[in-house]
Structure 1
């Protein structure tokens, strides 16, 4: 219970002789964190349970860098070529917050401050809960007496020279964000300026480094904390971009809730954040199979492309026919053909996805019925004049579209009815596109303006699809989004990185997309992939074989592996991209990469369980694993794929070797057996066909049988499905003497490998050759490879198995009978 504060508080300490003046200092502590505030000038800090200060407010460095601040900013919206691009251009004439504070309320774990300013005050409250500190900043003033109310608040903090920042959603131009100002506002993708052209205020065009489809106002700090700006209004961070010794958080709203999570381990902060905002969704098992855009009319060697994949033994699970059910009803008149195509694909072990967005065309004839229904029932967002809000869209033909009002329950139900059209034809899901086009001046059914709704709209769109599919296709669907915000991960099976430039473009091509995926992972969104070979073909750089294969390699180690065939260029230029069947080498490498990805399905499923339980991503930037190692903070092109793999894909043109930093530990090249010991930097060969992937010593990698064709069921007997190979599992591990590795599969099977015995301790096992090791039971094959001894050991078929070979004990214990084919890389 709160109570008024007397002049002298038990928690207040008077400290003397501070710059010749007395300072009042107040504290809150719960044993896990401590909040300490000086009242004049107002300045606060947050300490961890060890007494170390992790965050210190700025005090009163200058007018804009005061601990707590507020102002009025006149909104101004620029005209952009695309309405999906951010248009905000407001300017504040100055900050009006005060310098000194008084305590007005206090409990054992909360405190409220009043900070008088010019023509008003700021009410600043703090609450402690475990390791979480929640701060609410509320502006209560006007620009001048009787003038416009304050509509913008700010918090400013000291910036130590060694502090660095990560996360903030899918950011394409940086991983360490120090030195940048970045706003949170989902928008249409930008235009890059070419390979090797660094980021800048206009690269990408038109709004620079902030541009993203999927912002998340949550970041991790190298100082042992994370912060979440809990609002759906526009926010912006200034990480030392205004002055080198300070950073600021600001919200374009009169009130901001800021949550600070205090943990030395950033994974623990991610755990707290995902618990507060919704745990990530666990996809259906087949979602981890590769996806490719393909129609029934595409022929390869005289047969439909989907048949060519099966004939050539190229693993593929999902076909995306890009049928645009919205905004203009492409399917009308083709229903029977599409239903038959879905049935044919299901027979051959494919899942079929189409295309949706939350829009209805205002100009194309195909949408006439939907358009008239939506207008008659008041189911569209309105503009400032009360008319149906209209935005230009270039998807499915150039057109004006209306946005379904998803704050209206009737609008949600109608949108779900429109999505049922695809399910009724046998589709298994769809690309769930767009969501960034809500204009700031629009009005919604629930009374929100577009400025209030814009960031939340992609979440509402994803939730509508999620709720429909969970009800009608439980555990058996895929929809994937590009736009998102806080909460999206709770609803979506997958996220794809939007519409990249199909080159090594620095801010919109392959290097940028990998940055985006790593950043998104550091904000609790685990299931990510990118358009293999890109979508746009706007620059003069070649969309060639090297781009294609390097992107295929990145796709192989992305949880969501998906390929795009478009080479979009609205100028009409005749542009073409490399493709899977362009030459024999490409087909061979593509098949190897899709097979590797498909075989990792048991691994991905376990990682998705871990993400759901703790928010930890599947693609893990080295900062998450080694937060105190400064040499990993600047890494932009290497990551841990779960605990067992470290991968360093090539994302720039012309490389046949690249430098790799290996953090603390030992790593074995998965293909060649070469051992790397960290921490160290070394040069690794990377010919075009090489995806650098390293086994982490002391970890396990479970894999499906290499004959797998698809992760979907099939009625065609020649297609190899998970059901076909359910009685066998390959497990790869790297073990040093004295080490143990363990892993728990999604179904609860526990796998353990221990190398603690004498080298002469072995069971009676049959020694076999290469031809038999894949099919025999209780058998072994030992060979030398690179810096390791490769020991392959096959168990018997059972729910519980144990085999010993050369001092290594290998066990499995689970609900399903399996023959475990162990592949031990024994470090010498």
Structure 2
């Protein structure tokens, strides 16, 4: 049993230590309690207020549903067109679920029960109470390990309330409320959407349906006041009301299934508890929040280098991804001088540059031949059952025959880090850290585990190896972004991107699916996420057009990670999609969205630290704030961005308005300052260049100066014409929405505290110079401009340069305290009427 540090389970002492049966066993705590009935065997989890929140089913012998049980899954691996797709076909024997138990050990906080399954076989259940956490561990004990019927799968089922709903389970693209679905956790290659007009189904996405994800996390939040984590790396299943209306079940392809129940009525508290156990999202380098564009060293626009045109057209861009595939095939070999020269040039233009790596080595390629030979000779690759190098095939720049580096071995990890070091030696600042889903079940690894156990943890090991290298070589100043992951990945990956979506409004793989994926992953403990702006795959025949591009750019602006993708991948046909330079309106709208995202850096930094401290994601599904509001359970296209902003990106074709459920309270449109009364649905105008984005009454949003072009800091050779992060450190914009009596407060990453208060009655004006609104941002000694704007009375007030200030103006008090940087703070206060 996995216990919290310092916690021990001590069996009860008795004179003969014999097994006992009898009255219910009760474990009492302040935050949670457990009652176990022995016959029929039922476990009841009770919250701190005495409410029964989770109950196992009794009996069920021979049935998939019932109490703790085990079976023999005689399933087989179906050969799939892509080896990264899960091909498991289950073939379960009847389940053994004994109906009664005896108590074999007991303490004040835990008990062990044995359920006799006959013929010397047994199901052992350990129950442990640990504050607001309840451990349930089911161990299937088969008397004859050599028997062809030996158990290899365990399960437990629970009663399902009529109004219970489920969220999380990693990066799920087809649903946010998972009730009614069967979802397994097995990291796999992305699926294929069936089109914009096709609803999710057993084969949409194809081939495996809604379960398909690069990044599963076997953790879910329930609207009934608890959360569940399955801390195993084996494949797990969650059948959430998909087979029965009154019950759900979980299962794992192992003889030991641990179920951790977090007992919190507040889902944010469960998320905090879960990430405290499994790791919090790391705090990345500030520049990692800057927009990324796929720009190779030879890309040109009308005969001019694209990276130059980006600066000429003032399109804010921090990071260039040149897609140089160093691993697996070492495509940089022979081009080192060209690449190093290009990196130096774009560094001088204020860009960071990333390449491409993955944890594989290509066989049959000249560039990687030495690596392939060395890895094979030294046993550094995963192996087949026969002892040969375990190989797989996929497209990484081109179709390749690949070996998987065995990251369970310390020597292989060190070698992988040496291979990654080639990227840094060329001058790159990081890389796309791709793949990780191709470990096959029968493969053998150096630590003794098989692929069926290593498969899900492999992307975590891959990210950790890269993280540890970067923290040693470039502490706090690097970026790599992963597509695959599992529980714990968030500790090591500076950013996650959603893989290879369809470049349309495809329901399960396109733009609307990406919003769901980010929200689910956030509710699974991963805060730093983004999607390929404009998509990657061009498989279906729906338009890969300007509307799709601009709507995706708008969503990218309000995602923690914004990266634009120029590929339009189709293995059979050459296809193209709308791109940035296709018309001036696209440049204008994308540029505005990239500027908004870049300016939000101070806000993103605050939210990243909050995620690191509490587990609260940056993109926050409203369920995390309003778990008992039925309308929230159906929301899959709107979210809080931190606590102060709420956004509802347009994710359907042809829409010029957006109907959105708004949380209770009042919300001010970020652009035109109209006010929305929350607590229900509201229709917002949304022309093609409009992102529906709102500031909460009491919300406060710090932003960079609009002139910012890159979040890179200046170096000795940086072009002085480029507006870098350090060139705008002397000014800060702060947007605040305040009703009478309301206040707002935020602490910046550098410790600066910003407080805005609106009193119920007005006092005298500040005495600052009254200027025209166009001049308020440039005054050096402090000034103010005010007047009606939309549905609010707007006050724009600039403080003199300094590390602290306190200004009283009419009914407003605006305070800057504990500043670490001397700034002019430009307050933009939206006074609600």
- Please indicate, yes or no, whether the TM-score normalized by the shorter chain is above 0.5: yes
Superposed displacement of residue 145, structure 1: 10
Q: Which moved more, 1:110-119 or 1:436-445?
A: 110-119
Q: Which moved more, 1:273-282 or 1:464-473?
A: 273-282
1:251-289, Cα deviation, whole Å (9 max, x unpaired): 100001111111111111111111111121100000000
Q: Distance in 2 between matches of 1:802 and 1:505?
A: 51
Superposed displacement of residue 682, structure 1: 1.5
Count of residues paired in the alignment: 816
Q: Are residue 787 (structure 1) and residue 788 (structure 2) matched?
A: no
The residue that corresponds to 1:485 in the other structure is 486
Q: Distance in 1 between matches of 2:553 and 2:229?
A: 34
Q: Distance in 1 between matches of 2:442 and 2:258?
A: 24
The residue that corresponds to 1:35 in the other structure is 34
Q: Are residue 186 (structure 1) and residue 187 (structure 2) matched?
A: yes
Q: How does 1:661-810 map to 2 (within 5 A)?
A: 661-714=661-714, 715-756=718-759, 758-776=761-779, 777-810=781-814
Superposed displacement of residue 143, structure 1: 8.9
1:619-673, Cα deviation, whole Å (9 max, x unpaired): 0001011111110111010000000100000111010112111111110001011
Q: Give the unaligned 5+ runs of structure 2.
A: 1-9
Q: How does 1:95-110 map to 2 (within 5 A)?
A: 95-110=95-110
Q: How does 1:414-563 map to 2 (within 5 A)?
A: 414-563=415-564
Q: Distance in 2 between matches of 1:207 and 1:140?
A: 32
The residue that corresponds to 2:5 in the other structure is none
Superposed displacement of residue 146, structure 1: 4.6
Tell me, what secondary structure is at the counterpart of 2:344? Answer: helix
The residue that corresponds to 1:811 in the other structure is 815
Q: 2:329 touches 2:361 (CA, 8 Å); kept in 1?
A: yes
Q: 1:99 touches 1:117 (CA, 8 Å); kept in 2?
A: no
Instruction: Say which structure is richer in strand.
Output: 1
Q: 1:71 touches 1:143 (CA, 8 Å); kept in 2?
A: no
Q: Give the unaligned 5+ runs of structure 1.
A: 15-23
Q: Distance in 1 between matches of 2:381 and 2:394?
A: 16
Q: 1:291 touches 1:562 (CA, 8 Å); kept in 2?
A: yes
The residue that corresponds to 1:587 in the other structure is 587
Q: 1:44 touches 1:57 (CA, 8 Å); kept in 2?
A: yes
Superposed displacement of residue 81, structure 1: 0.5
The residue that corresponds to 2:828 in the other structure is 823
Q: Are residue 641 (structure 1) and residue 646 (structure 2) matched?
A: no
Q: 2:59 touches 2:98 (CA, 8 Å); kept in 1?
A: no
Q: Are residue 236 (structure 1) and residue 241 (structure 2) matched?
A: no
Q: Distance in 2 between matches of 1:684 and 1:383?
A: 57
Q: 1:318 touches 1:351 (CA, 8 Å); kept in 2?
A: yes
1:525-565, Cα deviation, whole Å (9 max, x unpaired): 00000001110000000100000000000000000000111
Q: 2:60 touches 2:97 (CA, 8 Å); kept in 1?
A: no
1:150-208, Cα deviation, whole Å (9 max, x unpaired): 11111100000000000000001000000000000000001110002011111111111
Q: How does 1:145-160 map to 2 (within 5 A)?
A: 146-160=147-161
Normalising by structure 1, report the TM-score: 0.97
Q: 1:391 touches 1:400 (CA, 8 Å); kept in 2?
A: yes
1:113-169, Cα deviation, whole Å (9 max, x unpaired): 111124411110111111011111100026999543211111100000000000000
Q: 2:637 touches 2:648 (CA, 8 Å); kept in 1?
A: yes
Normalising by structure 2, report the TM-score: 0.96
Q: Distance in 1 between matches of 2:107 and 2:637?
A: 48
Tell me, what secondary structure is at the counterpart of 1:709? Answer: coil
Q: Distance in 1 between matches of 2:787 and 2:582?
A: 37
The residue that corresponds to 1:20 in the other structure is none
Q: Distance in 2 between matches of 1:691 and 1:460?
A: 38
The residue that corresponds to 1:17 in the other structure is none
Q: 1:97 touches 1:118 (CA, 8 Å); kept in 2?
A: no
Q: Distance in 1 between matches of 2:171 and 2:144?
A: 35
Tell me, what secondary structure is at the counterpart of 1:44? Answer: strand
Q: 1:656 touches 1:687 (CA, 8 Å); kept in 2?
A: yes
Superposed displacement of residue 234, structure 1: 0.5
Q: 2:67 touches 2:97 (CA, 8 Å); kept in 1?
A: no
Tell me, what secondary structure is at the counterpart of 1:83? Answer: coil
Tell me, what secondary structure is at the counterpart of 1:517? Answer: helix
Q: How does 1:116-195 map to 2 (within 5 A)?
A: 116-119=116-119, 120-141=121-142, 146-195=147-196
Distance verdict in 2 for CA 1:144–1:40, change over 3 Å: farther
Q: Distance in 2 between matches of 1:144 and 1:808?
A: 75
Q: Distance in 2 between matches of 1:231 and 1:491?
A: 19
Q: Distance in 2 between matches of 1:265 and 1:108?
A: 27
Q: Distance in 2 between matches of 1:578 and 1:225?
A: 45
Superposed displacement of residue 758, structure 1: 2.5
Q: Distance in 2 between matches of 1:271 and 1:603?
A: 20
The residue that corresponds to 1:67 in the other structure is 67
Q: 1:154 touches 1:248 (CA, 8 Å); kept in 2?
A: yes
Q: Distance in 1 between matches of 2:146 and 2:768?
A: 89
Q: Distance in 2 between matches of 1:741 and 1:771?
A: 26
Q: 1:502 touches 1:537 (CA, 8 Å); kept in 2?
A: yes
The residue that corresponds to 1:326 in the other structure is 327
Tell me, what secondary structure is at the counterpart of 2:415? Answer: helix
Q: Distance in 2 between matches of 1:474 and 1:265?
A: 36
Tell me, what secondary structure is at the counterpart of 1:124? Answer: strand
